[in-house]
Amino acid sequence: MEVARRAEYIGFLHRAPFATEAYALGFVTGAREDCRIQDSHLRNVDVPILMLDNDFNRPDLDRYLTRFREVEPEIGVVGDARTPEEAHTFVDAARELKSDYPDATIIIVPKCREAIDIVANADIPGESLVLGYAMGRSNIKAWHFSDIANWRGHRVHLLGASPTKQWRVIQELTQPNLTGDPPADIIGLDWNGPQGIAYKGESWSRDGWQDADFLTIRETVRRSLREMRAFWEERGVWPAEGKTPIERLDPAVKEPDDPIWAANGGDLSDPDPLGSPDEWAELVDYEDEDGPYPIEQAIIVTYEDGRTFAYRTQTERNYVEYHEGLWDEVVDERP
* CATH code of the domain in which 136 resides: 3.20.20
pTM above threshold 0.85:
no
Contact (CB, 8 A) for 112 and 145: yes
Residue 284 sits in the same domain as residue 248:
no
User: Higher confidence at residue 137 or residue 80?
Assistant: 80
With respect to residue 258, please indicate whether it lies within any of the assigned structural domains: no
Residue 156 sits in the same domain as residue 198:
yes
With respect to residue 237, please indicate whether it lies within any of the assigned structural domains: yes
Residue 219 sits in the same domain as residue 314:
no
Mean pLDDT of the chain: 86
With respect to residue 1, please indicate whether it lies within any of the assigned structural domains: no
Question: Which residues pair with residue 51 across a beta bridge?
Answer: 30, 75
Residue 63 sits in the same domain as residue 111:
yes
Q: What is the rounded CA–CA span in Å between residue 284 and residue 333?
A: 20
Residue count of the chain: 335
21 lies in which domain range? 9-252
**DSSP secondary structure letters along 102-139:** TT-EEEEEE-SHHHHHHHHT---SSSPPEEEEE-SS-S
Residue 215 sits in the same domain as residue 315:
no
**Structure confidence at residue 44 as a pLDDT band (50, 70, 90):** confident
**Structure confidence at residue 161 as a pLDDT band (50, 70, 90):** very high
User: Looking at the predicted structure, is the pLDDT value of residue 262 above 80?
Assistant: no
Question: Which residues pair with residue 76 across a beta bridge?
Answer: 52, 106
With respect to residue 262, please indicate whether it lies within any of the assigned structural domains: no
With respect to residue 37, please indicate whether it lies within any of the assigned structural domains: yes
User: Looking at the predicted structure, is the pLDDT value of residue 126 above 50?
Assistant: yes
Residue 78 sits in the same domain as residue 31:
yes
- Average pLDDT on 156-177 reads 95
Residue 236 sits in the same domain as residue 295:
no
Residue 68 sits in the same domain as residue 127:
yes
Residue 172 sits in the same domain as residue 297:
no
Count the domains in the chain.
Answer: 2
Residue 177 sits in the same domain as residue 307:
no
- Average pLDDT on 246-267 reads 68
Residue 243 sits in the same domain as residue 100:
yes
Q: What is the rounded CA–CA span in Å between residue 229 and residue 319?
A: 28
- Per-residue confidence (pLDDT) for residue 13, from 0 to 100: 94
* Closest to 264 in 3D by CA, of 284, 239, 236: 284
